[in-house]
Amino acid sequence: MLVSTDKKWDYALGMIKVDGLEPSPEFKKLIEKESRGEMTTEDMRKVLDKKYKMKE
C-alpha cells in the first residue's frame, strides 16, 4: 500500500509533536515546497544539512 506524500508528512509532523516539539516555520515551508513539487526530498536534506551540520 502506497501512502501519499501529504500523509507521510502528517505522520512525521505528528511524531515531532508527540515529543512536545513544534516544527520550525522554515521546516514547514520546506515541506510545503516539497509537497507542491517545487523541490525534492533530497533538496530538503541538503538545505537542512547545510543549516544544521557541524563544521569540523
In a domain, 48, yes or no: yes
This prediction's pTM: 0.75
pLDDT tens sequence across 9-50: 899 999 999 999 999 999 999 999 998 999 998 999 999 999
In a domain, 1, yes or no: no
Residue listed under C-alpha cell 541538503: 46
User: How far is it, in rounded angstroms, from Cα 17 to Cα 20?
Assistant: 5
In a domain, 16, yes or no: no
In a domain, 28, yes or no: yes
In a domain, 18, yes or no: no
Number of domains the chain is built from? 1
In a domain, 46, yes or no: yes
Instruction: Give residue 42's domain range.
Output: 23-56
Strand ranges, E, within the chain: none
AA letter at 14: G
